[in-house]
């Protein structure tokens, strides 16, 4: 056991996390039959998570200093949009735009740092305000649109090192980097060891150090080979390089500079630090400012990877970064944590995500599992603290306490910067000194910034600080340990059940290859779909009866409320303007709102419209099933409710539905995919993958059903092959309609399922996601598949003209808004609005009379004529 401890260095708690990471990787490697540890997947893991890990690097310093930063996602998004606009609209060169972006981060950081450090407002509040402020600023500046960025920026977010002169068949800069890392590790460890000996310190036996160095070198060499031997043109990715540089820089800063020690001191016990002469306000200011600069950098990297800056970039990134930091061993109370630990914590989450996705586990279960892991990690931490021990591993490695209360092996050096030894940092062995150890809060046992026993960790007989739980090496400990083990077993079995029992069809499942699985139908409330059974009942909904339900009109200048969802595609932004202009021109008062803050915000907006006396509510719901209460009140107040584009479900309180024929949209997408494959991909069989929209949008399932009505028979007869086996709606869904979610899933599919195989086509439910899919395929260096879309977004129309994206669906927003306004006019005059469908849209409670418009399929063949009269697109298609 001692040997093991010597082998792993002085910080078993950190190693606990490394072991967890190794165990996870091994688990997924086995479960996915080797898909995790491939060059392509390793690159994806880095590219897809580097920006979160960069945030974690900044966040751990904030948390060590005893604060929190909730604004990082919004700051990243704001800096990202400034970057994109600076190049597109303000004429800045990329290098100048990057500089501007980082300066924006610094300025925001100074602003927030000022409030926290010099005014004394808690960071939680200041950054909560910042979260709203900079999200709003991002959307105001970019008009909630997506702004593309040029190649130079894309390089920073997903580029590779070019090969050098020697053609080794491997990427030689990557080889050189790997070699340098091994040399640095060996020489650094050696130097540190000699210095410790010279100073009279204790070092592990030589043999243990040599074995450790050899093991780490083998790991680095293997990783180097993986990164160097990927598909031609790839290497260790640029975002990875940025991350590694930051980790080295900040580990050094935290562990080996006075500034670093002061940060630990401030978080450990700020009063003591102040009395020791530390300028605590300055430290707080700097830490907050640094965080925002790194957030700007993360925004830049993300925008580069996504190839564009969007209005929802950065949403909930702060939570990912904070989870990484806590999983990595930082203390909620401040004073404890390491840069490398946080990066490992972030990697644990990233591997979980990636592995579960590769296994085809849905996004819902993935969240559950990630939540449990976070809780478990912090529970360990808290448990260890109350026990005065560094970790479970530390417990296992611990010797029986000696009567004299001697220092137990594996103790004392919890999460100080010396833990950087985990990454093989040569700095590890250097024992630091300074204010940190003495200033660390007394309850943070084992957490001295220098890994010193600034506490009684492992020293069973040392005096305990007042108020801390008594530590008895006897029965108390074994009882807690038993409880902990029991808890672990319960959680472990839960996880096992979730992964195996609740798992979706795996890539190897023949049933799943068959197409739609029964779990494609969400459980619970019935979803809107082409009514089958209820249709007959609907037939009896006669025009006469509807006429009988006519309501009296209302004054022509009444208030009309328009509640729109998040701006997840351009058509929503366009709709806003068209509603404003159209309703005003018709003489109505209007209240048009977007609910970028989510469902609760939309509920409040509708409530407010009702309170203000709106006579008609036009609702484009985020989640059509979550507005029942507000709609009931609207109808009770005498208002008429029109569902716009997305059906309102599970409520009787909806009068009309105006939309494009969503099922037909799906059918057209399915047909376009087949036609594109025939035209562009030679004879069948064709490999395809399926993407669906956000599960909370009622339209998503209808689009998917429509498309599958065309594709399923071809999957069944073998013309189409969904190689991943992910054919259910739940597996194909893209939470929040977010491009980054689609891009990440495509990355994973490409690495896991298509390393050697060609991908011929992708069903994409809309244009935003189609472009994300194409970006991912391009980054993987593969031939472009046939990709469908919807919405006629400007960038997608350009892409169709270039022969990249295959198709889109033209849903003329002007016509849709125009029809909704025509309904309002009818209602105002006491007439019954015209509908052309009284049987298709059963919302779970009633059949909603609908006016359905005809969608039009657009490909390169008809793109010019399709948009010849479109006010925005005509100049693009016929310049």
Nearer Cβ to ligand BGC (302/644): 644
User: DSSP letter at 560?
Assistant: E
* Contact track, ligand BGC, 374-413, x by CB under 6 A: ----------------------------------------
Cβ-Cβ contacts under 8 Å for 656 (sequence gap 6 or more): 640, 641, 642, 643, 823, 833, 835, 848, 849, 850, 851
Cβ-Cβ contacts under 8 Å for 597 (sequence gap 6 or more): none
Q: Which stretch binds ligand BGC (CB under 6 A): 157-165, 169-177, 565-573, 837-845?
A: 565-573
The DSSP secondary structure of 220-244, one letter per residue, reads: HHHHHHHHHTSSTT--SBHHHHHHH
* Contact track, ligand BGC, 217-246, x by CB under 6 A: ------------------------------
CB of 529 to ligand BGC, least distance (A): 15
- Nearest one of 585, 525, 598 to 556, comparing CA atoms: 585
Pick from 235, 284, 568, 724 the residue near ligand BGC by CB under 6 A: 568
Beta bridge partners of 619: 563, 643
Pick from 44, 571, 596, 843 the residue near ligand BGC by CB under 6 A: 571
* Site membership for ligand BGC, residue 697 (CB under 6 A): yes
CB of 837 to ligand BGC, least distance (A): 16
CB of 741 to ligand BGC, least distance (A): 13
Give start and end residues of each alpha helix (H) in 307-416.
Answer: 317-327, 339-358, 363-387, 392-397
CB of 791 to ligand BGC, least distance (A): 5
Classify the phi-psi angles of 715: left when phi > 0, otherwise alpha if psi is within -120 to 50, otherwise beta: alpha
Pull the structure tokens for residue 703: 């689009």
CB of 144 to ligand BGC, least distance (A): 12
Pull the structure tokens for residue 717: 């007869």
User: DSSP letter at 541?
Assistant: -
Beta bridge partners of 686: 720
CB of 468 to ligand BGC, least distance (A): 53
CB of 572 to ligand BGC, least distance (A): 6
380, 20 Cβ separation under 8 angstroms: no
Strands 807-810 and 856-859: antiparallel
Nearer Cβ to ligand BGC (711/742): 742
Asked if residue 685 has a cis previous peptide bond (ω within 30° of 0), the answer is yes
Nearer Cβ to ligand BGC (5/646): 646
Residues 807-866 that bind ligand BGC (CB under 6 A): 811
- Compute CA distances 776 → 312, 749, 751, 762, 784, whole Å: 19, 10, 11, 12, 10
CA 683 from chain centre, in angstroms, equals 38
Nearer Cβ to ligand BGC (389/819): 819
Residues 58-117 that bind ligand BGC (CB under 6 A): none
Residues 640-679 that bind ligand BGC (CB under 6 A): 645-646
CB of 491 to ligand BGC, least distance (A): 37
| Backbone CA torsion sign across 396, 397, 403, 405 | negative
* Site membership for ligand BGC, residue 353 (CB under 6 A): no
- Give buried/exposed letters for 38-66 (b at 16+ CB in 10 A, else e): bbbbbbbbbbbbbbbbbbbbbbbbbbbbb
276, 270 Cβ separation under 8 angstroms: no
CB of 317 to ligand BGC, least distance (A): 21
CB of 139 to ligand BGC, least distance (A): 15
CA 37 from chain centre, in angstroms, equals 22
Nearer Cβ to ligand BGC (139/724): 139
The DSSP secondary structure of 235-273, one letter per residue, reads: -SBHHHHHHHHHHHHHHHHHHHSHHHHHHHHHHH-HHHH
Nearer Cβ to ligand BGC (305/646): 646
Report the alpha-carbon distance of residue 628 to residue 610 in Å, rounded. 14
Strands 147-148 and 616-619: unpaired
Report the alpha-carbon distance of residue 124 to residue 133 in Å, rounded. 14
SS3 of 359-382: the string is CCCCHHHHHHHHHHHHHHHHHHHH
* Contact track, ligand BGC, 509-548, x by CB under 6 A: ----------------------------------------
Residues 782-801 that bind ligand BGC (CB under 6 A): 790-791
Nearer Cβ to ligand BGC (447/566): 566
CB of 699 to ligand BGC, least distance (A): 4
Nearer Cβ to ligand BGC (452/566): 566
* DSSP-based three-state secondary structure for 659: strand
Q: Which stretch binds ligand BGC (CB under 6 A): 43-51, 112-120, 337-345, 566-574?
A: 566-574
Question: With CB under 6 A, what is the number of residues at the site for ligand BGC?
Answer: 13
Q: What's the burial of 279, exposed, middle or buried (CB within 10 Å: 0-12/13-18/19+)?
A: middle
Nearer Cβ to ligand BGC (811/819): 811
Nearer Cβ to ligand BGC (569/753): 569
Beta bridge partners of 801: none
Q: Which stretch binds ligand BGC (CB under 6 A): 189-197, 303-311, 635-643, 692-700?
A: 692-700
Nearer Cβ to ligand BGC (699/840): 699
* Site membership for ligand BGC, residue 728 (CB under 6 A): no
* Contact track, ligand BGC, 731-750, x by CB under 6 A: ------x-------------
Q: Which stretch binds ligand BGC (CB under 6 A): 213-221, 419-427, 564-572, 575-583?
A: 564-572
Residues 119-158 that bind ligand BGC (CB under 6 A): none
Pick from 270, 443, 569, 734 the residue near ligand BGC by CB under 6 A: 569
* DSSP-based three-state secondary structure for 619: strand
Classify the phi-psi angles of 161: left when phi > 0, otherwise alpha if psi is within -120 to 50, otherwise beta: beta
785, 761 Cβ separation under 8 angstroms: yes
Nearer Cβ to ligand BGC (811/839): 811
Backbone angles phi, psi at 329, to 5 degrees: 100, 10
Nearer Cβ to ligand BGC (499/618): 618
- Compute CA distances 364 → 118, 730, 731, whole Å: 42, 9, 10
Pick from 649, 650, 766, 805 the residue near ligand BGC by CB under 6 A: 766
Q: Which stretch binds ligand BGC (CB under 6 A): 89-97, 211-219, 386-394, 693-701?
A: 693-701
CB of 502 to ligand BGC, least distance (A): 28
- Nearest one of 563, 617, 626, 633 to 592, comparing CA atoms: 563
* DSSP-based three-state secondary structure for 40: helix
CB of 133 to ligand BGC, least distance (A): 25
Token look-up 């085809």 returns 360
Kindly list the residues in this chain that would bind ligand BGC in the complex (CB under 6 A). Answer: 568-569, 571, 645-646, 693, 697, 699, 737, 766, 790-791, 811
């Amino acid at each position: 056991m001692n040997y093991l401890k010597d082998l792993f260095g002085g910080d078993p708690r950190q190693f606990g996390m490394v072991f967890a990471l190794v165990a996870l990787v091994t688990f997924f490697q086995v479960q996915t039959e080797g898909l995790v540890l491939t060059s392509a997947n390793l690159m994806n893991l880095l590219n897809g998570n580097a920006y979160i890990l960069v945030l974690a690097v900044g966040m751990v310093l904030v948390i060590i200093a005893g604060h929190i930063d909730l604004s990082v996602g919004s700051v990243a998004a704001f800096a990202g949009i400034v970057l994109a606009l600076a190049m597109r609209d303000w004429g800045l060169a990329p290098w100048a735009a990057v500089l501007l972006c980082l300066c924006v981060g610094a300025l925001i950081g100074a602003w927030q740092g000022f409030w926290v450090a010099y005014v004394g407002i808690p960071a939680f509040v200041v950054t909560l305000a910042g979260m709203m402020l900079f999200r709003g600023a991002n959307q105001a500046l970019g008009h909630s649109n997506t702004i593309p960025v040029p190649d130079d920026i894309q390089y920073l977010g997903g580029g590779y090192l070019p090969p050098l002169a020697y053609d080794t068949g491997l990427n030689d800069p990557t080889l050189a980097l790997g070699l340098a890392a091994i040399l640095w590790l060996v020489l650094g460890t050696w130097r540190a060891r000699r210095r410790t000996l010279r100073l009279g310190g204790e070092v592990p036996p030589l043999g243990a150090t040599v074995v450790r160095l050899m093991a780490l070198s083998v790991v680095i060499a293997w990783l180097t080979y993986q990164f160097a031997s990927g598909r031609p043109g790839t290497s260790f990715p640029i975002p990875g390089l940025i991350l590694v540089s930051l980790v080295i820089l900040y580990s050094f800063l935290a562990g080996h500079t006075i500034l670093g020690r002061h940060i630990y001191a401030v978080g450990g016990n700020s009063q003591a630090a102040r009395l020791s002469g530390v300028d605590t306000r300055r430290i707080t200011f700097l830490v907050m400012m640094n965080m925002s600069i790194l957030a700007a950098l993360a925004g830049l990297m993300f925008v580069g990877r996504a190839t564009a800056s969007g209005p929802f970039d950065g949403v909930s990134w702060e939570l990912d970064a904070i989870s990484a930091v806590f999983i990595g061993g930082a203390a909620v109370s401040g004073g404890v944590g390491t840069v490398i630990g946080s990066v490992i914590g972030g990697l644990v989450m990233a591997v979980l995500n990636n592995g579960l996705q590769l296994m085809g586990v849905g996004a819902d279960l993935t969240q559950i599992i990630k939540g449990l892991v976070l809780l478990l990690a912090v529970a360990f931490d808290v448990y260890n603290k109350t026990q005065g021990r560094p970790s479970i591993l530390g417990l296992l490695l611990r010797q029986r306490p000696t009567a004299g209360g001697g220092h137990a092996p594996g103790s004392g050096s919890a999460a100080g910067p010396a833990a950087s030894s985990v990454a093989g940092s040569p700095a590890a062995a250097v024992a630091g000194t300074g204010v940190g150890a003495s200033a660390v809060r007394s309850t943070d046992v084992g957490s001295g910034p220098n890994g010193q026993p600034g506490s009684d960790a492992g020293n069973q007989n040392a005096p305990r600080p007042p108020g801390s739980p008594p530590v008895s090496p006897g029965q108390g400990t074994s009882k807690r340990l038993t409880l902990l083990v029991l808890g672990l077993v319960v959680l472990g079995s839960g996880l096992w059940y979730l992964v195996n029992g609740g798992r979706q069809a795996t890539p190897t499942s023949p049933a799943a290859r068959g197409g739609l699985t029964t779990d494609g139908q969400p459980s619970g409330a019935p979803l809107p779909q082409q009514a089958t059974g209820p249709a007959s009942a609907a037939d009896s909904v006669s025009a006469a009866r509807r006429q009988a339900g006519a309501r009296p009109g209302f004054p022509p200048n009444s208030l009309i409320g328009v509640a729109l969802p998040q701006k997840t595609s351009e058509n929503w932004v366009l709709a806003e303007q068209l509603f404003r202009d159209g309703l005003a021109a018709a003489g109505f008062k209007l209240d048009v709102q977007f609910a970028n803050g989510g469902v609760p915000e939309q509920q409040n907006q509708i409530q407010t419209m009702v309170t203000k006396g709106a006579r008609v509510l036009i609702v484009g719901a985020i989640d059509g099933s979550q507005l029942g209460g507000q709609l009931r009140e609207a109808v009770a107040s005498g208002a008429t409710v029109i569902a716009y584009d997305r059906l309102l479900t599970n409520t009787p309180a909806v009068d009309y539905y105006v939309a494009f024929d969503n099922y037909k949209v799906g059918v057209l997408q399915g047909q376009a995919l087949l036609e594109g494959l025939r035209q562009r991909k030679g004879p069948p069989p064709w490999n395809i993958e399926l993407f669906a929209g956000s599960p909370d949008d009622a339209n998503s399932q209808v689009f998917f059903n429509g498309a599958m009505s065309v594709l399923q028979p071809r999957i069944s007869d073998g013309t189409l092959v969904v190689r991943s086996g992910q054919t259910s709606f739940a597996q194909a869904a893209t939470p929040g309609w977010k491009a980054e979610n689609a891009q990440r899933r495509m990355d994973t599919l490409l690495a896991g399922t298509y390393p050697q195989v060609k991908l011929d086509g992708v069903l994409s439910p809309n244009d935003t996601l189609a472009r994300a899919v194409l970006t991912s395929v391009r980054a993987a260096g593969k031939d472009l598949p046939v990709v469908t879309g919807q919405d006629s977004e400007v960038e997608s129309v350009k892409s169709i003209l270039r022969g990249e994206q295959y198709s889109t669906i033209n849903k003329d927003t002007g016509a849709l808004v125009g029809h909704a306004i025509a309904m309002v006019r009818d209602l105002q005059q006491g007439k019954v609005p015209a509908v052309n469908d009284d049987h298709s849209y059963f919302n779970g409670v009633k059949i909603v009379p609908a006016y359905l418009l005809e969608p039009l399929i657009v490909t390169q063949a008809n793109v010019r004529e399709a948009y010849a009269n479109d006010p925005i697109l005509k100049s693009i298609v016929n310049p």
